[in-house]
Amino acid sequence: MHDLKLIRTDPDRLRAALRQRQMQNGDEIVAHVVSLDEERRTTLSEVETFKRERNEASQQVAKLKKSGGNADELITQTR
């Protein structure tokens, strides 16, 4: 098993290791792994953004309810 951080920072090292093992499609494998890692990191970033927005909205709902306001519209938007 190879460290994903190492593959991200030094993909040529993995390519060389795959060539030593006589894997013909090593370049394709490395490119695919790097691509999937980038997609995963982008998705995680988006998820964290959504979580932050949800938490901010929840705080606003709590403030509205505490002050006696109507938070139904904000609750609907966060769903």
Contacts of 78 (CB under 8 A, 6+ apart): 54, 57, 58, 61
Sequence-distant contacts of 5-10: CB under 8 A, at least 24 apart: 7/33, 7/34, 7/37, 8/34, 8/37
H runs (alpha helix) in the chain: 4-9, 11-20, 26-66, 72-78
Q: For position 79, what pLDDT does the model report?
A: 76
Q: For position 1, what pLDDT does the model report?
A: 67
Q: For position 46, what pLDDT does the model report?
A: 98
pLDDT < 70 stretches in the chain: 1
pTM for this predicted structure? 0.69
Q: What are phi and psi of 54, to 5 degrees?
A: -65, -45
Q: For position 48, what pLDDT does the model report?
A: 98
